A and B are shown apart, each in its own frame.
Chain A
Amino acid sequence: MAVYLDHAATTPMLPAAVEAMTARLAVTGNANSLHAAGRAARRVVEESREQIAEALGARPSEVVFTSGGTESDNLAVKGLYWARRDADTRRRRVLAPKIEHHAVLDPLSWLAEHEGAEIDWLPVDALGRVHPETLRAAIERDPDSVALTTVMWANNEVGTVQPVQELAAVAHEYGIPMHSDAVQAVGALEVDWSAGGLSAMTFTAHKIGGPIGVGALLLGRKTAAVPVLHGGGQERDVRSGTLDTPAIAGFAAAVVESVKDREAKADLLSGLRDDLVARVRAEVPDVVVNGDLGAGSGLPGIANMTFPGCEGDSLLMLLDARGVECSTGSACSAGVAQPSHVLLAMGVDGEPARGSLRFSLGHTSTKADVDALAEAIGPVVARARAAGVS
């Protein structure tokens, strides 16, 4: 049986989510229809919205359903930029670190290319963190020109957690909206929207045991965002499109359960993760751990490691052949391995950045998974070293 160590890519659905979703799959009903079928669907959607809001400390009206993380990031970054620029044309600066997911980075480059945005990259430290003083200094250069800032809650490749609340407090001082991509954070860290001071926050179902294809943006009640999708005016007129009632039901079940079990699961995962790192290090003594493994300061289930002298590609293929599934970072659609932009931003050189693997644990992970990796990694690294770095 395959050893699945890629939960940060997607994690198996929780039984409660499967049950909630399948219960609605064969039921007709558009949540916008006025008749009984529509009302029944709307009830499911709104109850789901309330459950999600409650689990994350938000108000139901702040939950905007989308098709997932990429759409939420696009809506937040573009929507906030357009709204802020339209209100005051001087606001063209966007402050962001280079360790963001491509779902944030690429909309930013698009805005720079087509909409006159200027991206001011926020430097990160060797662990990938943005310091509040760094954000303050960037704002201070010209506070009136800042449209928004966006800093992810926790990094998908190395697990580094940002001081989101402190960053949001700085942005708030200047009246600047801040978005955070919390796709990896929800269900793994304490995420309390009401304490966060954020204007917008992205999260998605399939990283926490819900279905693929549904996510949400928490959008502050006073935060204006120009829509990306125009149409029937659903979701506060910010995101048009018929709502996916079954998926939303599954999403809500996953949020509720993953938030409820969060602390116990985090302890379990960080224990397994520490074991995984120690066992790999025992087999490959010169392995270098990237990111933050500190208790409470990094994502509990992620271990990113550089294997000197190896191509990440070769390692991945050899592990795959032995039934161990992991990732070299965030995969690009064309499948061509690039050095991780996250590691490069953290100051890791190009070659080590190409020789890195991300192992990510989740709710189905067991000690047997770690055992299997520990058994495979020694011979795999020896082979990959023989093949070298091209």
Chain B
Amino acid sequence: MRVLAAMSGGVDSAVAAARVRDAGHEVTGVHLALSRNRQALRDGARGCCTIEDSHDARRAADMLGIPFYIWDMSDRFHEDVIEDFVAEYQAGRTPNPCLRCNEKIKFAAVLDKARALGFDAVATGHYARLLAGPHGPELHRAVDPAKDQSYVLGVLDADQLAHSLFPLGEDTKPEVRAEAAERGLYVAKKPDSHDVCFIPDGDTKAYLAKTLGTDSGPIVDTTGRRVGEHDGAWGFTIGQRRGLRIGDPAGDGRPRYVLDISPVSNTVTVGTAEELDVTGLSGIKLRWCGPEFTGRIECHAQLRAHGEGVPATAERTGADSIDVLLHEPVRGLAPGQAAVLYDGTRVIGSATVAQTSR
């Protein structure tokens, strides 16, 4: 096959490209330039797409003896991921930009361009497995639960998966690092990336403040009593405890958390940890990694990028809607987050949380 290896400049995608090449495929490395204003050097584990990252990716490609190019996807990324991210926060929701990027950029814009240019598949360094199933390739969790990234791939449909390769799903991160070192790849010791790539200092609130300005409003408790003031409701996420700046302590002295954000009334509601517990959700924007289900199924629902799923019952309520009943309460789930449904290790598909119930 002719395979396009998406190379971020990190250790995972470098080893993924190496393995695909070793498997006998004709591999071309591509680094995606996603930021419009690229920084020269990276700062520890923060951010990505710096010129240093593209240099690291190029070095790895040169070591592997594969052609390497940089594709400028910064305009697409800005429209489809960053603007969406800001708009979601503005609407009081908590988006996951990595899923959005996989859905719109890596396995859409990039895959489409690659296929048009004559490539058969795109390979990435995600930790997930593709296993042959009766209806085509199935997306499964990686064997390393600490690194499993099937959650952020839960937006890919069967056609996208049929043209994807995830060569790292059978291994653990230490194994991949060891292999990188053995191969002489200079990125073997490079730190993992964390946080949102386009917010290099990790300060989402400051980023949103810069983008959206300030708009002060009340912080109230569940009885409607005003307990503080905020300078922009978008600066909060459900479940957040720090940075509330509520001067008046709660009556019982217990910590308080953000329970709800209402952009229309510009109000942030706070309450106790118990009040954060979510037992059900309704989801929209359904994405299917394989056959759709109808009716009602027992499954596991994963609601964050890291951690395990909880037992759940999912019911199809319409062409593009489901309800999910969670058999264990999940603390601090917010609209905008993704609910990825699993049958054992297999990813069934995903929904965007529209509403939660407590």
A interface residues, Cβ below 8 angstroms from B: 313-314, 316-318, 320-321, 333-337, 383-384, 386-388, 390
**A383 B70 Cβ-Cβ under 8 A:** no
Q: Which of A317, A334, A335, A383 contacts B28 (CB 8 A)?
A: A317
Assess whether B69 is in contact with A317, with CB atoms less than 8 Å apart.
yes
Closest to B40 in A: A334
Closest-by-CB residue of A relative to B72 is A336
Q: How far is the CA of A313 from the CA of B71 in the complex (A)?
A: 8
- In the complex the two chains form, is B67's CB within 8 Å of A321's CB? yes
- B76: CB under 8 A from chain A? yes
Main SS of the interface on chain B?
mixed
Assuming the contacts A317-B28, A390-B76, asked whether A334 and B117 have C-beta atoms less than 8 A apart, the reply is no
The interface residues of chain A lying within 8 Å CB-to-CB of B116 are: 383, 386-388
Contact of A387 among B69, B73, B113 (CB under 8 A): B113
Is the beta-carbon distance between B67 and A337 smaller than 8 angstroms?
A: no
| B69, A334: Cβ atoms closer than 8 Å | no
Q: With A387-B113, A390-B109, A390-B113 as given contacts, are A336 and B33 in contact (CB-CB < 8 Å)?
A: yes
B38 in the interface (beta carbon within 8 A): yes
Considering only residues 28-48 of chain B, those with a C-beta below 8 Å from chain A are 28, 31, 33, 38
Q: B69 near A390 (CB under 8 angstroms)?
A: no
B69 near A335 (CB under 8 angstroms)? yes
| Whole-angstrom distance between the Cβ of B119 and the nearest chain A Cβ | 10
- Asked if B118 is at the interface (CB within 8 A of a chain A CB), the reply is yes
- Interface assignment of B237: CB less than 8 Å from any CB of chain A: no
B117 touches A314 (CB 8 A): yes
Chain A residue nearest to B109 in the complex (CB)? A390
CB of A335 within 8 A of CB of B67, answer no
**Secondary structure type dominating chain A contacts:** helix
Q: Which residues of B have CB within 8 Å of A383?
A: 116-118
- B117 nearest CB neighbor, chain A only: A387
* Shortest beta-carbon distance from B14 to chain A in Å: 17
List of B residues within 8 angstroms of A321 by Cβ:
28, 67
Q: Is B54 interfacial (CB 8 A cutoff)?
A: yes
Tell me if B58 counts as interface (CB < 8 A to partner A): yes
Mark each residue of chain B from 106 to 126: 1 if its CB lies under 8 Å from any CB of chain A, else 0. Answer: 000100010011100000000
A336 to B335 CA separation, bound complex (whole angstroms): 37
- Tally of A-B residue pairs with Cβ under 8 A? 49
Q: What A residues does B67 contact at CB under 8 A?
A: 317, 320-321
Q: Tell me the B144-169 residues at the A interface (CB within 8 Å).
A: none
A-B contact pairs, 19 of them (CB 8 A): A314-B113, A316-B69, A317-B69, A318-B117, A318-B118, A321-B28, A334-B33, A334-B51, A335-B70, A336-B33, A336-B70, A337-B70, A383-B117, A383-B118, A387-B113, A387-B116, A387-B117, A390-B73, A390-B109
Q: Which residues of A contact B72 (CB under 8 A)?
A: 313, 336-337
Q: With contacts A333-B51, A386-B116, A390-B73 known, what are 16 further pairs, Cβ within 8 A?
A: A313-B71, A313-B72, A317-B69, A318-B117, A321-B28, A321-B67, A334-B33, A334-B38, A334-B70, A335-B33, A336-B33, A336-B38, A336-B70, A337-B72, A388-B113, A390-B113
CA distance A333 to B72 in the complex (A): 14
**A123 smallest CB distance to B (angstroms):** 29
Question: Which residue from chain B places its CB closest to the CB of A320 in the assembled complex?
Answer: B67
Residues of B within 8 A of A384 (CB): 117
Docked pose: A336 CA to B30 CA in angstroms:
11
Asked if B71 and A334 sit within 8 Å, CB to CB, the answer is no
A218 to chain B, nearest CB (A): 34
A334 closest partner in B (C-beta) = B51
User: Distance (Å) between the CB of B320 and the closest chain A CB?
Assistant: 28
User: Given the complex, which residues of B lie within 8 Å of A390, measured CB to CB?
Assistant: 73, 75-76, 109, 113
Report the 7 A-B pairs with minimum CB-CB distance, sorted nearest first. A387-B116, A335-B70, A386-B116, A336-B72, A387-B117, A336-B33, A334-B51
In the complex, residue of chain A having the shortest beta-carbon distance to the beta carbon of B115: A387
Between A320, A337, A390, the greatest number of chain B beta carbons within 10 A of the residue's beta carbon is seen for: A390
B75 closest partner in A (C-beta):
A390
Task: Write the nearest CB–CB distance from A259 to chain B, whole angstroms.
Answer: 36
Known contacts A390-B73, A390-B109, A390-B113, A334 near B118 by CB under 8 Å:
no
* Chain B residues in 8 Å Cβ range of A333: 51
Determine the chain B residues whose CB is within 8 A of the CB of A386 once the complex forms: 116-117
What are the residues of chain A within 8 A of B51 when measuring CB–CB?
333-334
| Cβ–Cβ contact B117 & A317, under 8 A | yes
Q: Which residues of B sit under 8 angstroms from A336, Cβ to Cβ?
A: 33, 38, 70, 72
A387–B76 alpha-carbon span in the complex (Å): 15
Q: Which residues of A contact B73 (CB under 8 A)?
A: 390
Query: B51 CB to closest chain A CB, in angstroms?
Result: 5
Query: Cα distance A299–B33 when bound, in Å?
Result: 34
Cβ–Cβ < 8 Å partners of B117 in chain A:
314, 317-318, 383-384, 386-387
Residue of B nearest to A338 (CB): B72
Among A317, A320, A388, the most chain B Cβ lie within 10 Å of the Cβ of A317
The chain B residue sitting closest to A333, CB to CB, is B51
Tell me the chain B residues, 273-315 only, with Cβ under 8 Å from chain A: none
Which residue of B is nearest A379, CB measured? Answer: B118
Give the distance to chain B from A387, nearest Cβ to Cβ, in Å.
Answer: 4
Instruction: For the complex, give the distance between the alpha carbons of A335 and B28 in Å.
Output: 15
- Compute how far the CA of A317 lies from the CA of B38 in the bound complex, rounded to whole angstroms: 23
Q: Could you tell me the distance between the alpha carbons of A334 and B38 in the complex, rounded to whole angstroms?
A: 9
- Give chain A nearest CB distance to B38 CB in angstroms: 6
Considering the chains assembled together, what is the distance between the CA atoms of A384 and B113 in angstroms? 9
